[in-house]
Homo-oligomer: A and B are copies of this chain.
Amino acid sequence: MIALITDFGQDGLYVGQIHALLAADLPGVQVIDLCHTIPAQDIRAAAYLIPAYTRLLPPESIIICVVDPGVGGNRPHAVCQSDGHWYIGPDNGIFDVLQQHAHHFMKYHFSWPGEVSDSFHARDIYTPAACLLAESGTPDVLEAQQVESDNLRFNPDLNEIIYFDHFGNAITAYRYSSLSEKSLIHIKGQALPWARTFSEVEQGACFCYENANGLVEIACNQGSAKDQLGLKLGDMFSFK
> Whole-angstrom distance between the alpha carbons of A28 and B41 in the complex?
34
**A13 closest partner in B (C-beta):** B35
User: In this assembly, does A110 line the interface, its C-beta being within 8 Å of a C-beta of chain B?
Assistant: no
The interface residues of chain B lying within 8 Å CB-to-CB of A36 are: 11
Binary contact track A1-36/B, C-beta < 8 Å → 1, others 0: 101000111111111110111011001101011111
Contact A35 B19 (CB under 8 A): no
Contact A53 B13 (CB under 8 A): yes
User: In this assembly, does A109 line the interface, its C-beta being within 8 Å of a C-beta of chain B?
Assistant: no
The interface residues of chain B lying within 8 Å CB-to-CB of A196 are: 72, 118
User: In this assembly, does A165 line the interface, its C-beta being within 8 Å of a C-beta of chain B?
Assistant: yes
Contact B27 A3 (CB under 8 A): no
Contact A19 B32 (CB under 8 A): yes
Contact A12 B37 (CB under 8 A): yes
Contact A212 B123 (CB under 8 A): yes
Out of B16, B58, B117, B123, name the residue touching A3 (CB < 8 Å).
B16
User: In this assembly, does A57 line the interface, its C-beta being within 8 Å of a C-beta of chain B?
Assistant: yes
Binary contact track A105-121/B, C-beta < 8 Å → 1, others 0: 00000000000011110
User: In this assembly, does A198 line the interface, its C-beta being within 8 Å of a C-beta of chain B?
Assistant: yes
Assuming A118-B196, A165-B13, is B20 touching A32 (CB within 8 A)? yes
Out of B35, B212, B222, name the residue touching A16 (CB < 8 Å).
B35
Contact B166 A8 (CB under 8 A): yes
Assuming A198-B70, A199-B73, is B35 touching A117 (CB within 8 A)? no
User: In this assembly, does A191 line the interface, its C-beta being within 8 Å of a C-beta of chain B?
Assistant: no
User: In this assembly, does A234 line the interface, its C-beta being within 8 Å of a C-beta of chain B?
Assistant: no
Assuming A40-B167, A41-B222, is B23 touching A118 (CB within 8 A)? no
> Whole-angstrom distance between the alpha carbons of A70 and B196 in the complex?
12
> Whole-angstrom distance between the alpha carbons of A32 and B16 in the complex?
6
User: In this assembly, does A163 line the interface, its C-beta being within 8 Å of a C-beta of chain B?
Assistant: yes
Instruction: Name 4 extra pairs, CB < 8 A, besides A17-B56, A69-B222, A72-B196.
Output: A7-B166, A13-B53, A20-B32, A69-B198
| 9 closest residue pairs by CB, A with B | A72-B197, A73-B199, A9-B166, A10-B11, A120-B212, A117-B212, A118-B197, A16-B34, A23-B30
